[in-house]
Structure formats: structure tokens, C-alpha cells
Structure 1
Amino acid sequence: MTKNSPCKEITIVIQFIKKGMIALKWFLSIVQIILGVFLAFFAYKQMNQNHLDTWFIIFTVFSLIFVLWFAKHYDKS
């Protein structure tokens, strides 16, 4: 019976994390697109200005998190 080397286990964990990062990137992209559609819909319907401001702030904050977080991720690799 042979034991797995620690390097092999670490490699498996790293591959799992990379797959999770890709899934998270797709999830964040989809949520960002949905927020953009809501923002465009509210602007088109000329909803109450408070609703439009709220959606714009949510979309902007989410976009900044998405861009800055992935920029840090790509700088490390």
C-alpha cells in the first residue's frame, strides 16, 4: 500500500480552489448582468428616483468589488 505524497494532495486542493474561483467568477458575472438589466429597466420606466439611485449604487459597488477583487487575484498568479 503506497501513501499519497503531500505534494499531490496540495495540487488537488489548488485545482479545486481554481475551479471554485472560475465558478465564482461566472456567478458574479451573471449577477452583475442581472443588476444591469434591472438598472436599465428602471431607467427606461423612469421609476422613482430613489429606486434608481439605490440600484445604481448597488450595481456600482458590485462592479467595483468584481473588478478590484479579480485584479488582485490575477496579480498574484
Structure 2
Amino acid sequence: MAREAEHRGAKMQVDARLVGGAVILLALLAFVGQNREEVPFTFLFLQFTAPLWLMLAGTVVLALLVGFLAGRRSRRPKR
């Protein structure tokens, strides 16, 4: 009986992850749908237009990359 309850608990956890993933996916799709307009981008000598959602996604990716690299560097042992 205890094993059945344990098995059901594990199944509930998988279902909760699936539901959480679906909610996040729907939120991302709504975000993309609401931010499709083209916006101008200027940085130094670069000038172009791109969808707002793409510009924001690129900014998030760059921020995560910088955070990852900064965290990786600070974990090195000091001599």
C-alpha cells in the first residue's frame, strides 16, 4: 500500500512538471505574439530592425552568458 502511494506521488510530480512547462510555454507564446512589431536597433556602427521579441530574447541570452562566465571565473581557486 505504501509503495502505491509513493508511486502515485512520483507520478504527481511528473504531472506537475508537465503542467509547469506547459504554462511557461504558453506564456512565451503570448509574449512572442504580443511583441512582433519591428523595432530599430543601433549599436556603435550597427543599424538594423528586428522583431521586439527577438531583441529581448537576444538580450536575455547575452545576460545569461555574461552571468555564466562571470560565475565561472569567480569559482577558480586563488593562488
Higher strand share: 2
Q: Could you state the TM-score of these two structures normalised by the residue count of structure 1?
A: 0.48
Q: What TM-score do you get using the length of structure 2 for normalisation?
A: 0.47
Question: Larger RCO: Structure 1 or Structure 2 (Cα < 8 Å, ≥ 6 residues apart)?
Answer: 1
Larger Rg, first or second structure (1 or 2): 2
Relative to total residues, which structure has the larger helix share, 1 or 2?
1
